Amino acid sequence: MDLKEYMSVRRAYNIVRQQVAAKERLTFEELAIICHLCEADEPVKTSTIAEYQGALRPTMTHRTNHLETLGLIERAEGTRDRRNVVCSVSDAGRERVAELAELTCEQIPTGRALSRTAPERILKYVDAMGAFFCKAGDLVLLGLLAADDEALTIMQLVDALGLLQPTVSMSVSTLAERGLVGRGHGSGSSHTTSVSLTDEGRGVAESLAESIAQIVVRRRPRTGSKEQ
């Protein structure tokens, strides 16, 4: 997966998430869990899902608790070991991710990466992307890297990432404290803050982009074709 594909999906879903009622919102990681379960042929242990997302068990327990509360997944004791909790997607979960995939596709503008991709394919992207945890600050760094080293204003970053303005502003402040971004005045206005990568920030962003390049989105074999 390349950076533009990754950013295109994350931006689109961030916008969709803001349009959903607060009590029904799913984080990107929670959406990825449902997509992962949709791809599985059988219930998956919570510990296996935690390994897939590189998350600690308490974090995964919180995520799966939320999804179960919303009726999107079902949890049960393992058949061989009752200490192992297994998860499976519910019918409501399949309907929800199909709806969210459709809405996500609608938020990818014509001309951007994956703008012509079907919702079913987007779900496979989300499943693959779920194995790479990316915080808001990381998205800011990637957004600046994708801008080809051009300085962006806070509002340009909001548009590029699909995040709320307070989230972007707080992330930029934290990154600036760490020396990963620099802040200045935007052209034409002393009241507009421009943000750019520092050399150290560019190194971190490039490392994140390299990890994204390792993400593999599974493809279905073409009908009648032989696997190579």
Predicted local distance difference test score (pLDDT) of residue 193: 85
Predicted local distance difference test score (pLDDT) of residue 149: 72
pLDDT interval class at 190 (50, 70, 90): low
Q: Is residue 221 part of a domain?
A: no
Residue 222 pLDDT more than 60?
A: no
Same domain, 111 and 163: no
Residue 221 pLDDT more than 60?
A: no
- Residues 6-30: what's their mean pLDDT? 96
Same domain, 171 and 67: no
Q: Is residue 227 part of a domain?
A: no
Domain boundary among 129, 158, 186: 129
Mean pLDDT for the chain overall = 91
Predicted local distance difference test score (pLDDT) of residue 224: 47
Q: Is residue 224 part of a domain?
A: no
- Residues 167-185: what's their mean pLDDT? 95
Specify the CATH number for the domain of residue 123. Answer: 1.10.10.10
From the number of C-beta atoms within 10 Å of its C-beta (0-12, 13-18, 19+), residue 127 rates as buried
Between 59 and 220, name the one with better pLDDT. 59
Range of the domain at 51: 3-129
Same domain, 64 and 86: yes
Q: Is residue 220 part of a domain?
A: no
Q: Is residue 219 part of a domain?
A: no
Q: How many angstroms separate the CA atoms of 67 and 61, rounded?
A: 10
Q: Is residue 199 part of a domain?
A: yes
Taking alpha carbons only, the member of 96, 125, 107, 106 closest to residue 36 is 125
Write the pLDDT tens digit of every residue in 111-158: 999 999 999 999 999 999 999 999 999 999 999 999 987 899 999 999
Same domain, 38 and 120: yes
pLDDT interval class at 183 (50, 70, 90): very high
Predicted local distance difference test score (pLDDT) of residue 103: 97
End-to-end Cα, the chain, rounded Å: 20
Predicted local distance difference test score (pLDDT) of residue 225: 41
Same domain, 108 and 26: yes
Same domain, 97 and 29: yes
Between 219 and 93, name the one with better pLDDT. 93
Residue 189 pLDDT more than 70?
A: no
- Residues 55-77: what's their mean pLDDT? 94
Number of domain units in the chain = 2
pLDDT interval class at 219 (50, 70, 90): confident
The answer to whether residues 122 and 101 touch, using CB atoms and an 8 Å cutoff, is yes
Domain boundary among 88, 108, 129: 129
Which amino acid, residue 7?
M
Residue 187 pLDDT more than 90?
A: no
Same domain, 153 and 110: no
Confidence (pTM): 0.89
Predicted local distance difference test score (pLDDT) of residue 44: 94
From the number of C-beta atoms within 10 Å of its C-beta (0-12, 13-18, 19+), residue 23 rates as exposed
Same domain, 119 and 150: no
Domain boundary among 88, 104, 129: 129
Q: How many angstroms separate the CA atoms of 185 and 206, rounded?
A: 25
Residue 194 has phi, psi (to 5 degrees) of: -105, 150
Same domain, 55 and 162: no
Residue 49 pLDDT more than 90?
A: yes
